[in-house]
Amino acid sequence: MTNNLTKDQIEGLAEHLENAELKAFEVTKITDDYPDMTYKDAFDIQWEIRRRKEARGTKIVGMKMGLTSWAKMAQMGVEHPCYGFLADYFTVPDGGEVKFDELIHPKIEAEIAFVTKKPLKGPGVTIADALAATDFVLPAVEVIDSRYKDFKFDLKSVIADNSSSTRFITGGQMVRPEEIDMKNFGVVMEINGEVVATGAGAAVLGHPAASVAMLANMMGERGEEVPAGTFIMTGGITAAVQINKGDNFAVRYQGLGTITGRFV
Amino acid sequence: MNQDQILQAGDELYEAMVSRTTIKPFTERFDDITIEDAYHISLRMIERRVQAGERIIGKKIGVTSKAVQNMLGVYQPDFGFLTDKMAYSQGQEMPISEQLIQPKAEGEIAFVMKKDIIGPGLTNADILAATDFVIPCFEVVDSRIEDWKIKIQDTVADNASCGLFVLGDTAVDPRKVDLATCGMVVEKNGSIISTGAGAAALGSPVNCVTWLANTLGQFGIPLKAGEVILSGSLVPLEPVQAGDFMSVSIGGIGSASVRFV
């Protein structure tokens, strides 16, 4: 785990990418200008964005995993998913409004979220550890919005861009992890009343709890733990679907209710 | 098409199936072939199968996913007939290399009826009330048309591209499962290749069966007690060959697996 970027470069890129997020403009992927940057550099940029937000009083309210489908990873030629953080102003209430003009080219994904009751610290965290540390699971819809032009990026660029995190909605029915067949449970995404995507839990690394374990292991590489009480979105069960201003969405989760919202 | 052409087309499909050869699409040979002509061709093909000793045990519904509807440019499903010779049991080897031409597998929910019901005018409530149980299913579709170059009339004529099917061994009361949101996971040779949920077929597998019952009702054909109804794929079609092993699991319903030889 080495750096090829200097501290100044990392801070500069963090400011550049955070501005793109806050002001909703597109940028070119940063590996175009810094082809030698490492994964460590990419995560350092993400953690610097997080530090900048916290320094302004923004609270970090959870974590998310991205690129969690085997198909997507194979397509991008990577072996690992990526993670990002969730800031307090990312939350949108169930049935609420997402302000489209604050975003660039948003897409939505149906996910299942975990809330932990015990800390998890990698390396060596297994699916069993992740399930044992889970207080409950509940449905979530993630709005992703890459700051990169046309959603075109590589893994390092997307990690630096906080894994395209931008907004999320959670709600519906919470259940204990032993009360749900997380591998086979299904989701149905509708936009403007039309079914646009369906999927089942296994789309997330074979089992959504594997995503939680992987988050703990990846954060463990930096010496960070996932504290008790962390809200974790485990990654898209459905493909990410483009959504436009004026659209409404409803996502139905087998046995866990429905999440709705609209883009205004 | 005239009656002679229809009979001849049905015979041609039956012989292609028996000899495991493909034929040119009818839509390339008959400019004026209608979907109604195509159903008459399919009836001739199934008549030949019955004459050869097969028994009709149910129906299948096809063209239920948006992806397939877009590909064919038609926005309604189609149907075909199931015979006893197509049915395989959980754990049994399926001899696709002896029986099929260009097989593809798809995961579905099958309905088994407990009473006779005839459309038109049936609602989802009628269908659910007439359903004995639902059961996991792999349908292995096949096309007697060269390279699957099908238009809607070709697949309808070819018994909705029906091949073989395998049912799982868990029968679940339809009252105990949300058929629109139940998830499906399909694995091939140990890898997860696709996932979906009930709503991938016309918004709900129940909608598919209701459509079938109402459509058949226009021709005076009922869904009968004990019949198996394959309600349509919830995932993309997957080409298969001898040596492949596939399994499907459906949230709240169960699983089915099949070994292809």
Domain boundaries, chain B: 56-260
Q: Does residue A232 contact residue A213 with C-beta atoms inside 8 Å?
A: no
Residues forming beta bridges with residue A101, ordered by sequence position: none
Percent of chain B with pLDDT over 70: 100
Q: Is A198 on the interface with B (CB under 8 A)?
A: yes
Query: CATH: 3.40.1160.10, 1.10.645.10, 3.90.850.10, 3.30.565.10. Which one for A60-263?
Result: 3.90.850.10
Of B82, B68, B61, B240, the C-alpha closest to B151 is B68
- pLDDT of A86: 98
**Cα(B105)–Cα(B186) distance, integer angstroms:** 10
Beta-carbon separation of A195 and B200 below 8 A: yes
**Contacts of residue A252 in chain B, CB cutoff 8 Å?**
180-181, 199
Q: Which residues of A150-170 are buried (b: 16+ CB within 10 A; e: fewer)?
A: ebebbbbbbbbbbbbbbbbbb
pLDDT at A71 over 80: no
pLDDT at A84 over 80: yes
Of A130, A264, A105, A104, the C-alpha closest to A208 is A130
| Distance in Å from the first CA to the final CA of chain B | 39
Q: How far is A62 from chain B (nearest CA, A)?
A: 27
Section A204-220 average pLDDT: 97
**Contacts of residue B185 in chain A, CB cutoff 8 Å?**
183-184, 200-202
Q: Does residue B168 contact residue B203 with C-beta atoms inside 8 Å?
A: no
pLDDT at A13 over 90: yes
Q: Is A202 on the interface with B (CB under 8 A)?
A: yes
Angle at A164 between CA A162 and CA A168, to 5 degrees: 100
**Contacts of residue A183 in chain B, CB cutoff 8 Å?**
185, 249
3-state secondary structure of A187: strand
Q: Which residues of B116-151 are buried (b: 16+ CB within 10 A; e: fewer)?
A: ebebeebeeebbbebbbbbbbbbbbbbbbbbebebb
3-state secondary structure of B19: helix
Q: Is B199 on the interface with A (CB under 8 A)?
A: yes
Which residues 6+ apart lie within 8 Å of A49 measured at CB? A14, A17, A18, A21, A162
**Cα(A120)–Cα(A126) distance, integer angstroms:** 10
- pLDDT of B67: 83
DSSP state of B148: G
pTM for this one?
0.94
What string of DSSP letters covers A106-130?
-EEEEEEEEEESS-B--SS--HHHH
Beta-carbon separation of B184 and A181 below 8 A: no
**Contacts of residue A181 in chain B, CB cutoff 8 Å?**
251-252
Per DSSP, helices labelled H in A24-132 are 39-55, 70-76, 127-132
Beta-carbon separation of A254 and B251 below 8 A: yes
Phi, psi values for residue B171, rounded to 5°: -100, 125
User: Per-residue pLDDT tens for B76-125?
Assistant: 899 999 999 999 998 889 999 999 999 999 999 999 999 999 999 999 99
Of A239, A140, A245, A144, the C-alpha closest to A192 is A245
| Side-chain-facing half-sphere of A118: CA atoms under 13 Å | 11
Beta-carbon separation of B250 and A184 below 8 A: yes
User: Per-residue pLDDT tens for A108-117?
Assistant: 999 999 999 9
CA A21 to chain centroid: 15
**Cα(A44)–Cα(A31) distance, integer angstroms:** 14
Section B190-214 average pLDDT: 96
Q: Is B170 on the interface with A (CB under 8 A)?
A: no
Which secondary structure element, helix H or strand E, spans residue B49, and what is its range?
Answer: helix B35-51
- Residue A188 identity: V
Nearest CA in chain B to A253: B181
**Cα(A45)–Cα(A20) distance, integer angstroms:** 14
**Contacts of residue A188 in chain B, CB cutoff 8 Å?**
180-181, 197-199
Residues forming beta bridges with residue A83, ordered by sequence position: A65
Which residues 6+ apart lie within 8 Å of A198 measured at CB? A186, A187, A188, A189, A238, B183, B195, B196, B197, B198, B199, B200, B234
pLDDT at B219 over 90: no
Please give the mean pLDDT across all residues of chain A. Answer: 96
User: Per-residue pLDDT tens for A87-99?
Assistant: 999 999 999 999 9
- Characterize the bridge pairing of strands B131-141 and B104-113: antiparallel
Q: Is B183 on the interface with A (CB under 8 A)?
A: yes
**Cα(A135)–Cα(A118) distance, integer angstroms:** 8
Q: How far is A203 from chain B (nearest CA, A)?
A: 6
Complex confidence, ipTM: 0.91
- Characterize the bridge pairing of strands B183-188 and B191-197: antiparallel
User: Per-residue pLDDT tens for B59-82?
Assistant: 999 999 988 888 888 888 999 999
pLDDT at A78 over 80: no
Beta-carbon separation of A188 and B199 below 8 A: yes
CATH class of the domain defined by B56-260: alpha beta
- pLDDT of B240: 97
